[in-house]
Structure 1
Amino acid sequence: MAARPAAKGVPIALHETVPWRGFTSEDPPDYAEILRCTHCGMCLNQCPTFRVLGWEPDSPRGRIYLMRAVAEGRLEINPDFREHMEVCLACRACQTACPASVAFGRLVEAARWQVRQTLPMSLGERIARWVVFAGLLARPALLRLLTWGLWAYHTTGLRRLARRSGILGRLPAPLRTMEGMLPERIPFRTMPTGRVYPAVGERRGRVALLAGCVMRTLLAPIQEATIRVLTRQGFEVVVPAGQGCCGALHAHAGEREMARALARRNLAVFMREEVDAILVNAAGCGVAMKEYGEWLGRDPRWAAAARAFSTRVRDVTEFLDAAGLRPLPRRLAGKAVYQDPCHLAHGQGVRAQPRRLLQAVGLTVIDLPDGDVCCGSAGIYNVTHPEIAAALLAEKVQAVQRLAPQRVVTANAGCLLQLAMGLRQAGLALPVQHVVEVLDEAGA
């Protein structure tokens, strides 16, 4: 078969085959990046799905081999290819382990985008994707209405009745997981945008804060704690009006065009603000925002702004650690287990900073064995693949039981909800907190 002509910006394989033969010409996985994999296997034990399934195609090395086979025309994108790409948690632990620093996260997101373009979807899947990605996540008003409904479900006693009756056990596993992940307290008041919060005492700077999706609704108390900590630390905080979802979940699910549209929306809003940094307190959102420069790198209108934006994004723990905490009004005591969010540790290289902040308030920080292995949340992975997610969560819960801490701390919304669900189901009455909630408790 004659080779296709190379598309603009797509590299030619080193052995003179066209790298996107089985992919479309629009944003295929980077063939040069695929070729950088040396097949050494260092990633295998770090891959959660390989540890659970023990199947080579469900390891980073295996997935890269499948991508290469499609790129070289030896394999078509088919349902099996799709399943091997989608069963990946996109946790990026393989990137930390890889001696060649292969950017696997970008490869698997591009592969899912290719699947989205190539394979047909059932009517049910199309509806579900529209509801989640074009509806709830893209429209804060809809997510706010859903939160009010969940607040009513909790405050009227329906949740307690449903859990005691056993009716939840009859639901499909994804719905049981979604119900089980609901926080113990569901706020009625969601986080407002278009507000500026003045610094307390001598002003040290001005920052902008991403409101987010789940963070501004179900987990609005964490946003409130974040603002209190930042203002007490001397930073004026602006929460710009008009911002929306960061697009991380869309990119993970292969909805690349939606992700880019959301990125452009946020760029237009945040780049109007004169701030020292753009802060985020959800690790998956942080990775996405730090990669806006890559998402929009070929967009002549937005490329420069996206690169400038990404250089200003900081996780809130990263920012506070670099700024240094003011003297604390009180110190906390006890042992705290810290769970590394995948997209903070592997995606952003932020590991020591949250631990230093927890130690600064007086806590003894204990690391979980394999603490940087995914807990199974991974965006909506625990809903789409509940069995694998449950197996990963069980390992975390057992490790926490053995260590017997006074609290569990993390720095990402999904991890927090996942761990709280697992501990509650195991009968462990342990608080699960975000780092900023601990800092707020200490009056930081």
Structure 2
Amino acid sequence: MQTNFSPDRLEQDRLVRQANDILRTCVHCGFCTATCPTYVLLGDELDSPRGRIYLLKDMLENDKPASKTVVRHIDRCLTCQSCMTTCPSGVDYVHLLEQGRAHIERTYKRPPMDRVVRGMLAAIIPRTGRFRLAMLGGWLVRPVARLLPGPIGAMADMARKRPALRSSINKPQVLPAQGPRRARVALMRNCVQPALNPEIDAATARLLTRLGCEVVIAEGQGCCGAVVGHMGREDEAKAFARANVRAWTAADVDRVVVNVSGCGTTVKDYGHLLADDPELAADARVIASKAVDVTELLADLGPVEPVTERRIVVAYHAACSLQHGQRVTTAPKALLEAAGFRVVTPAESHLCCGSAGTYSITQPDLSRQLRTRKAEALETLDPDVIASGNIGCLTHLAAEVGVPLVHTVQLLDWATGGPQPPALDVPPKGRGRKDARAS
């Protein structure tokens, strides 16, 4: 793609040079359109990666304020990165998108209700205590509030059960390895997981310590920064990243283990996010290189030997942030199979379920369409349980899927001597999608 950034801007601004390089990589082939969820749903060129690249090029190249049209189509992007998996030219779409979103945040004044919703999300979701209180309030008023249209109804619909009021596993501590220590690892504390499903972190800690890892819950760590980063709030995202880099550097760990794939994609990109930080750029690169999804670490540690073989059918839902953002595709399924589960994969496994962080709230109609499509693909497999590596996907799909949903690590913990995941206390295949939506 030909670009026309001014020589002065190219010389003076590293981000302008980055945008220029990314745009020049695109050859207009359109392969990305076939795997873009919003293009598959809407069929609009401007709701494809190629169309959005043209919009971003015009806005960034001319350094002009974002228009309503640009904002509408950029906001519809799920940041699923499926286009990057498909692209034969290696276009770094996600970093171009980040620049565009930051530019929108600086130059575009959103409608009042939009500003309120986005401000609430940025203030609440990255902070576990606030999120827990918000979910508790949503759970109390959900029977009425979920019927409201737009983002408010979508937020209330997230609160499908009372949030966990506390989670001891998430306080700063060091959990000793069982037997000889094989590694010292930090377990990232996610913002929403302790309130929505603290058993995921507990299962992760049990499994890692059982396999010889000393697990550190580091003092001072917090949100990865993805929520605010995807809203274009660049400074806030960097502040969260700096806090985490400092916490994990001080913890002196071999690996930073993440069991929420959306966070893992962000942490692995800290070297890029903090590239211009004079104090922490080098440490950020080190932390990014140490970051692993929990299934990557488990694969490195060796086969997960099952205590008792569980002859149940697991439909594996590949979260976009894991399969596209981190390119981790084989480890989760291989680990489940080695643990004695029969793993099946749905059609269109590359397409997003519509969760995508706050997308289910900011774009509720498109999100629901994608969820319905994914739910149908999963339930067609007639599984006993659905497993995924991202709390956002699990929570989102629970609104429509009538099959128990668990994190991959919960099944692995169960197979190797841990307790049965609480979700499996519900008889498998006991509810249909209609009943799931009504609950």
TM-score when scaled to structure 1?
Answer: 0.87
Q: Distance in 1 between matches of 2:7 and 2:80?
A: 26
Q: Distance in 1 between matches of 2:40 and 2:92?
A: 20
Q: Distance in 1 between matches of 2:255 and 2:159?
A: 31
Deviates more, 1:248-257 or 1:66-75: 66-75
Structure 1 gap segments, 5+ residues each: 1-12
**SS in structure 1 opposite 2:252?**
coil
Other-structure match for 1:96: 85
Alignment match of 1:390 (pick from 368, 391, 397): 368
Q: Distance in 2 between matches of 1:178 and 1:15?
A: 41
The answer (yes or no) to whether the contact 1:358–1:438 under 8 Å persists in 2 is yes
Other-structure match for 2:293: 315
Q: Distance in 1 between matches of 2:3 and 2:258?
A: 43
Structure 2 gap segments, 5+ residues each: 418-439
Measured after TM superposition, the shift of residue 77 of structure 1 is 2.1
Other-structure match for 2:316: 338
Other-structure match for 1:253: 231
Q: How many residues align?
A: 413
Q: Distance in 2 between matches of 1:104 and 1:19?
A: 23
Q: Distance in 1 between matches of 2:205 and 2:252?
A: 18
Q: Distance in 1 between matches of 2:34 and 2:389?
A: 24
Tell me, yes or no, if structure 1 residue 413 matches structure 2 residue 391.
yes
Q: Distance in 1 between matches of 2:7 and 2:300?
A: 43
Other-structure match for 1:47: 36
Cα distance, 1:123–1:174 mapped onto 2, change above 3 Å: closer
Cα distance, 1:136–1:74 mapped onto 2, change above 3 Å: closer
Measured after TM superposition, the shift of residue 334 of structure 1 is 1.8
The answer (yes or no) to whether the contact 1:19–1:72 under 8 Å persists in 2 is no
Cα distance, 1:320–1:15 mapped onto 2, change above 3 Å: closer
Other-structure match for 2:437: none
Q: Distance in 2 between matches of 1:20 and 1:438?
A: 56
Measured after TM superposition, the shift of residue 204 of structure 1 is 1.6
Alignment match of 1:171 (pick from 101, 124, 148): 148
Measured after TM superposition, the shift of residue 202 of structure 1 is 2.6
The answer (yes or no) to whether the contact 2:190–2:223 under 8 Å persists in 1 is yes
Deviates more, 1:29-38 or 1:382-391: 29-38
**SS in structure 1 opposite 2:406?**
strand
The letter for the 2-side match of 1:53 is L
Other-structure match for 2:436: none
The answer (yes or no) to whether the contact 2:354–2:368 under 8 Å persists in 1 is yes
Other-structure match for 1:128: 117
Tell me, yes or no, if structure 1 residue 61 matches structure 2 residue 39.
no
Q: Distance in 2 between matches of 1:265 and 1:382?
A: 28
Measured after TM superposition, the shift of residue 195 of structure 1 is 0.9
Cα distance, 1:16–1:37 mapped onto 2, change above 3 Å: closer
Other-structure match for 1:279: 257
Q: Distance in 2 between matches of 1:211 and 1:203?
A: 22
Measured after TM superposition, the shift of residue 408 of structure 1 is 0.6
Measured after TM superposition, the shift of residue 229 of structure 1 is 0.9
Alignment match of 2:355 (pick from 371, 374, 377): 377
Q: Distance in 2 between matches of 1:393 and 1:20?
A: 46
Alignment match of 2:345 (pick from 363, 367, 373): 367
The answer (yes or no) to whether the contact 2:226–2:263 under 8 Å persists in 1 is yes
Alignment match of 1:188 (pick from 165, 186, 199): 165
Measured after TM superposition, the shift of residue 192 of structure 1 is 3.0
Alignment match of 1:108 (pick from 97, 108, 120): 97
Measured after TM superposition, the shift of residue 373 of structure 1 is 0.8
Q: Distance in 2 between matches of 1:250 and 1:405?
A: 36
Cα distance, 1:141–1:26 mapped onto 2, change above 3 Å: farther
Q: Distance in 1 between matches of 2:300 and 2:416?
A: 18
Measured after TM superposition, the shift of residue 328 of structure 1 is 2.3
Other-structure match for 1:301: 279
Deviation per CA, 1:369-403: give whole Å up to 9, x if none.
11121000000101111111111111111112321
Cα distance, 1:20–1:401 mapped onto 2, change above 3 Å: farther
Alignment match of 2:129 (pick from 128, 141, 155): 141
**SS in structure 1 opposite 2:370?**
helix
The answer (yes or no) to whether the contact 1:339–1:372 under 8 Å persists in 2 is no
Measured after TM superposition, the shift of residue 259 of structure 1 is 0.2
Q: Distance in 1 between matches of 2:354 and 2:4?
A: 40
Other-structure match for 2:408: 435
The letter for the 1-side match of 2:170 is P
Aligned CA-pair RMSD:
2.3
Measured after TM superposition, the shift of residue 114 of structure 1 is 0.4
**SS in structure 2 opposite 1:388?**
helix
Alignment match of 2:378 (pick from 389, 393, 400): 400
The answer (yes or no) to whether the contact 2:154–2:364 under 8 Å persists in 1 is yes
Percent same amino acid among aligned pairs?
36
Measured after TM superposition, the shift of residue 147 of structure 1 is 5.0
Tell me, yes or no, if structure 1 residue 202 matches structure 2 residue 191.
no
The letter for the 2-side match of 1:440 is D
**SS in structure 2 opposite 1:408?**
strand
